[in-house]
Structure 1
Amino acid sequence: MTTSVNNNAAANGAAGNENIAANGGMSKLFTTLLVAQIKNQDPLSPQDPSQFVSQLTQLSQVESMQQLASQGQTNASMLASLQLMTLGAQVGSTLQATVSSLNLSRDPVQLRFSLDSNSPANTLVLTGGDGREQRIDLGALGKGEQGYTLDPARLGLADGRYSVRLEAGDKRAVNVETVARLDGVRLAADGGVMLQLAGVGEITSQAITQFKGRAAS
Structure 2
Amino acid sequence: MTTTPGTGVTAATAKTAAASADESKKPTVDYESFLKLLTAQLRNQDPLAPMDASQFMTQLAQLSTVEQSMRSNDTLGKVLDTLKSSGMRMDMALLGRKVEVESNQLSLTGGKAEAAYTVDGQPASVKLDVLNAAGNVVYSTPGALQTGRQVFSWTGKTPSGGTAPDGLYTLRVTAKDKDGKTLNTATVVTDTVAEVRSVDGATKFVLKNGATVDSGAVLSAS
TM-score by length of 2: 0.68
Residue aligned with 2:134, SS: coil
1:108 maps to 2:119: no
Q: Report what 2:187 is aligned to.
A: 176
Q: Output the CA distance in 2 between the equivalents of 1:196 and 1:44.
A: 72
Q: Percent identity?
A: 26
More divergent stretch after superposition (57-66 vs 167-176): 57-66
- Deviations 1:9-58, CA, capped at 9 Å, x for gaps: xxxxxxxxxxxxx97xx545544553453244333211223333343444
Q: Give the CA RMSD over aligned residues.
A: 3.0
Residue aligned with 1:46, SS: coil
Matching residue's letter, 1:173: N
1:151 maps to 2:161: no
CA 1:71–1:103: 2 relative to 1, 3 Å: farther
| Among candidates 119, 132, 136, match of residue 128 of structure 1 | 132
1:195 maps to 2:205: yes
Q: Output the CA distance in 2 between the equivalents of 1:119 and 1:108.
A: 27
CA 1:87–1:42: 2 relative to 1, 3 Å: closer
- Deviations 1:138-195, CA, capped at 9 Å, x for gaps: 432422211122333x34334454333211132211101101112221222x111111
| Among candidates 78, 83, 107, match of residue 79 of structure 1 | 83
Structure 1, unmatched stretches of 5+, are 1-21
CA 1:157–1:66: 2 relative to 1, 3 Å: farther
State the Cα distance separating 1:118 from its structure 2 match: 4.7
The equivalences for 1:9-24 within 5 A come to none
Q: Output the CA distance in 2 between the equivalents of 1:85 and 1:107.
A: 36
State the Cα distance separating 1:88 from its structure 2 match: 1.7
Q: Output the CA distance in 2 between the equivalents of 1:101 and 1:123.
A: 17
| Structure label with greater radius of gyration | 2
The equivalences for 1:37-116 within 5 A come to 37-102=41-106, 104-106=108-110, 108-115=112-119
Q: Report what 1:15 is aligned to.
A: none
Residue aligned with 1:43, SS: coil
Q: How many residues align?
A: 187
Q: Output the CA distance in 2 between the equivalents of 1:66 and 1:162.
A: 50
Decide whether the 8 Å contact of 1:96 with 1:178 is kept in 2.
yes
- Deviations 1:53-100, CA, capped at 9 Å, x for gaps: 343444444444444444444333322322222232222222111113
Matching residue's letter, 2:185: V
Decide whether the 8 Å contact of 2:104 with 2:172 is kept in 1.
yes
Residue aligned with 2:51, SS: coil
Residue aligned with 1:80, SS: helix
